[in-house]
Amino acid sequence: MCNAVVDTGPLIHLHEIEHLEILTAVFGKLHLPENVKLEISNEPILQFIHQHSDKIAIHQIGEPELFAAKNAYSDFRLHLADLAVITLLNKILDACAVSDDLALRRAIESSNRTVVGTIGVLFRGFKKGVINKPQLKQFIHLILNDSSLYLSSAFRSRILTIVEELQQTT
């Protein structure tokens, strides 16, 4: 089971559909920069992080490292938490990134690292047998209709087509 460095967005979006637990079921260990945790003002998400401290590690990223990341990724419009995510990802070589932020995703991909978003987490949950096809369909419906995650209409259509074409493996 691979580890993951998690950005704020997927935590928020999975909380919005009341399925944060998919993150801890899909990934071995979750790593959050302190900068990401500080962006979270939602008490249930903070409680989730605290309750799963055996699977969720919080990491401090120093200012010199953040400035180095800012210089290294100056072609991308990255915020402080984004810089912390990419810095931590560069330290944890066996981890993938979990983010819905397009600029951060592009920066991570420019370093030839794996990044998945909230939808990707759900598909990984299906592939690993954590959720079945009806649950996957339900969770994607909730993400598309009841969460704050913005996805283009073309991407939404593509996701729905992929879900319909999936074969149940569990």
Mean pLDDT of the chain: 95
Whether the per-residue pLDDT at 23 is higher than 70: the answer is: yes
Instruction: List, in order of start, the domains of the chain with CATH numbers.
Output: 1-170 (3.40.50.1010)
- Say how far apart CA 75 and CA 1 lie, in whole Å: 32
Whether the per-residue pLDDT at 170 is higher than 60: the answer is: no
Summarised one tens digit per residue, pLDDT across range 71-121 is 999 999 999 999 999 999 999 999 999 999 999 999 999 999 999 999 999
pTM of the prediction?
Answer: 0.93
